[in-house]
Amino acid sequence: MTVIANTLIVITISVGVLFTLVTMIGILRLPDVYTRAHAASKSTTFGVLSILLGVFFHYWLKEGLFSIQLLLAIVFLFITSPIGGHLMGRAAYISGVEKSPLTVGDELEEVVEEAKRKARPRPEID
């Protein structure tokens, strides 16, 4: 039982640390803000969730403490971290941060142009 618990804890925390490391490499190496936000908001979420799960297992299986707060933190981070990435990417797009030259398509551009065209005041009353 102790071996299973130790293995579970070590594997979850190691996976979390590895994913956080991958996030850091991604932020350093990727070319523009959108790809960096992609790296930062996905893999760091998984990494931190995995570390928290490892800590939760440690306290549950070794110390006998079923920590609701850690589960709540996992749920909370799982909800909020992608929203943070979304908002940062959106703010970057709207304030006109340049895309990497490797970018192929931009579907948001048409939508934003359409919204800008609709937002202009029209001469006739509808």
Partner 1 sequence: MKTNDVILQTTTKVVFFIIFIFSIHIFFAGHYTPGGGFVGGLLTTGALILLLLAFDLKTVQKALPFDFMKVVAVGLLLAILTASWPLFVDLPFFTHAFDDFNLPLFGETSLHTAMLFDLGVYLVVVGAAMTMIQTIGGDT
Task: With contacts defined by CB under 8 A, name the span among 9-17, 28-36, 42-50, 79-87 that binds partner 1.
Answer: 79-87
* Helices vs strands, H then E, count in the chain: 4, 0
Angle at 94 between CA 93 and CA 96, to 5 degrees: 65
Decide if residue 11 touches partner 1 (CB under 8 A): no
- 97 near partner 1, judged by CB under 8 A: no
Rounded distance between C-alpha atoms, residue 30 and residue 24, angstroms: 10
Contact 18, 47 (CB under 8 A): yes
**Residue 108 binding partner 1, by CB under 8 A:** no
The only residue of 10, 11, 75, 108 in contact with partner 1, by rule CB under 8 A: 75
Give the one residue of 10, 21, 25, 80 binding partner 1; rule: CB under 8 A. Answer: 80
Phi, psi (5° rounding) for residue 88?
-70, -40
Binding site for partner 1 (CB under 8 A): 69, 72, 75-76, 79-80, 83, 86-87, 112, 115-116, 119
